[in-house]
Structure 1
Amino acid sequence: MEKAINIIKYSGEVQAFNIEKLKRSLRHSKASEKLVQEIAQEVQEQLTEGMTTKRIYEIAYKMLKRKSKSGSARYKLKKAIMEFGPTGYPFEKYIGKILEYEGFNTDVGVVMQGHCVTHEVDVAALKANEHYLVECKFHSDQGRNCNVKIPLYIQSRFKDLETQWLKQNDHSLKFHKGWVYTNTRFSTDAIQFGECSGLGLVSWDYPEKNSLKSKIDGSRLYPITALPSLSKQEKQKILNKGIVLCREVCDNPKLLDDLGMASSKKKNILKEANELCNH
């Protein structure tokens, strides 16, 4: 029996390398089975004791990018969202777009009067009789998670706003709920508090069937930062224009016109975006 090779996760935790976990993530990117096996073999050949998951990701992504641009975009989805930084505002706008896809009317970055104090709300979402207050917690470091202090704080803000809303006749029959969306993970006690208090929680992989990852895959609302042909500077230029979705470029290619790109570059970007949006 071969000795297990230990790798180091983003959090610093040491664990045994699991080749099947790598294959699952590659299959999730819609890579062909032949390519999945090729990449897995290459990673195993380069694997050394104490290698980081970041380095393993880089090896796999480089091979995937050469063979399948749309596959590499899906594979780097988590990292692409982290490239929304550093302000976190593009992430708020992105969550607003996901909620719009789910049928909500949304406002991003609104100031609301609570019973005691005013609050700046990341996303206010309204659909029929459902009224949601959404706080977005963006992290550009995979090692950072949301601990219980965050849902405790958000729930207290939500209750202050709900008290004020319930004074209004048009709100008295509405269903109100506070939510926290994060691009990383929640600690165990944060999830426990959310479930107990009625605060909605959505993280990268929670809840299992309605996580941020599954919402993105189901809606195909991929972030513009996932496109392999875009440089870091080009991504920032596009984000500065308020564009956060590949779909926005698919629907309106002229959005790329004033970014100073060569026509061949724009053509590549549009091709990648359309492959993602219409897969």
Structure 2
Amino acid sequence: MNESINIIKYSGDVVPFKSEKLINSLRRAKATDVVIEEIVEHIKDTIYDGITTKKIYQMAFNMLKRKSRVSASKYKLKKAIMELGPSGFPFEKLIGKIMGHEGFDTKVGVIVQGNCVKHEIDVIAQKDDKHYMIECKYHSDQGRFCNVKIPLYINSRFLDVEKQWEYQKGHNTKFHQGGVYTNTRFTTDALQYGKCVGLLMTSWDYPKGNGIKDRIDQSGLHPLTALTTLTKKEKTMLLDTGIVLCKEVHNNPILLNQVGIEKSRHKRILQDSEELCRTK
């Protein structure tokens, strides 16, 4: 098969199939070279003109899962984050955990008084003289991007909160900044506006090398929804207990009993959780 096959992305755009993208995503999941070659050759022999990226992903994931559960969990990171729904609160907690790992003192779901009105802030993060107001925009559909209305709205809220912060003791020397985190991507206008007004803009893969996917890989803070050893119902029950990370499952194995998971399955679940916590 030559690489003149056109595929359909989640956005509906039609683009040529590039095996390099598949290879890179499998490498990021720590699949071995032998497994990567096997999967890529199978995909190249199987795909057809007009196939969706969703179908290609599912084919690759199913093959990878048979070879390595942990690599499959890493490969499905984007989907795993989308499985944190339907509410956006687990995603807010995930962002709070990531920033906490990076040395910030974080609070999630906080009501603060602005200069004009009260606001519910998804994440407030502080470290040294830095004080951030973060809003999280969670999507359960890869085709949905954050358009310019999102940073416009968030910046107006930040300015109201910042004005009130400046009245507080010690805040006149602090660096204040508003920010937007999304598990999908920003439109070009959204990024342009956000950078222009000084918002901290973070998406699945932006800024390059420091997006959400990169920071999860670097920290080992994988969402529990990445585990292939849990059913969808079990993941939902664990999320309902207030935890979001594989690390929390590993550190609190009693949670598996509390949601009714058979003892015979605990070892595999905890083994995968531990491996996903590793950063090397």
- TM-score, reference length from structure 2: 0.97
Partner of 1:170: 170
Partner SS for 1:109 = strand
Deviation at 1:3, TM superposition (A): 6.4
Instruction: Give unmatched runs, 5+ long, in structure 2.
Output: none
Partner of 1:227: 227
Q: For residues 47 and 209 of structure 2, what CA distance do their matches in structure 1 show?
A: 32
Which stretch has the larger CA shift, 77-86 or 252-261? Answer: 252-261
Deviation at 1:209, TM superposition (A): 2.1
Q: For residues 250 and 71 of structure 1, what CA distance do their matches in structure 2 show?
A: 17
Partner of 2:38: 38
Partner of 2:248: 248
Partner SS for 2:4 = coil
4+ runs deviating over 6 angstroms: none
Deviation at 1:253, TM superposition (A): 1.6
Q: How many pairs were matched up?
A: 279
Partner of 1:81: 81
Deviation digits for residues 207-248 of structure 1 (CA, Å, limit 9, x no counterpart): 002111111111010000000011110110000001100111
Partner of 1:59: 59
Q: CA RMSD in A?
A: 1.1
| Contact map agreement 2:3 2:16 (CA 8 A) in 1 | no
Map 1:1-279 to 2 at 5 A: 2=2, 4-278=4-278, 279=280
Deviation digits for residues 116-154 of structure 1 (CA, Å, limit 9, x no counterpart): 111010011111211110000000000000011100110
Instruction: Give unmatched runs, 5+ long, in structure 1.
Output: none
Which stretch has the larger CA shift, 141-150 or 244-253? Answer: 244-253
The one-letter amino acid of 1:58's match is Q
Could you say if the C-alpha distance between residues 43 and 3 of structure 1 is closer, same or farther in structure 2, counting changes exceeding 3 Å?
Answer: closer
Deviation digits for residues 242-269 of structure 1 (CA, Å, limit 9, x no counterpart): 1100111222222222111111212111
Partner SS for 1:181 = strand
Deviation digits for residues 69-104 of structure 1 (CA, Å, limit 9, x no counterpart): 110000000000000011111000110100100111
Partner SS for 1:172 = helix
Could you say if the C-alpha distance between residues 224 and 3 of structure 1 is closer, same or farther in structure 2, counting changes exceeding 3 Å?
Answer: closer
Identical aligned residues as a percent: 57
Q: For residues 2 and 79 of structure 1, what CA distance do their matches in structure 2 show?
A: 29
Partner SS for 1:177 = strand
Q: For residues 95 and 3 of structure 2, what CA distance do their matches in structure 1 show?
A: 43
The one-letter amino acid of 2:178's match is G
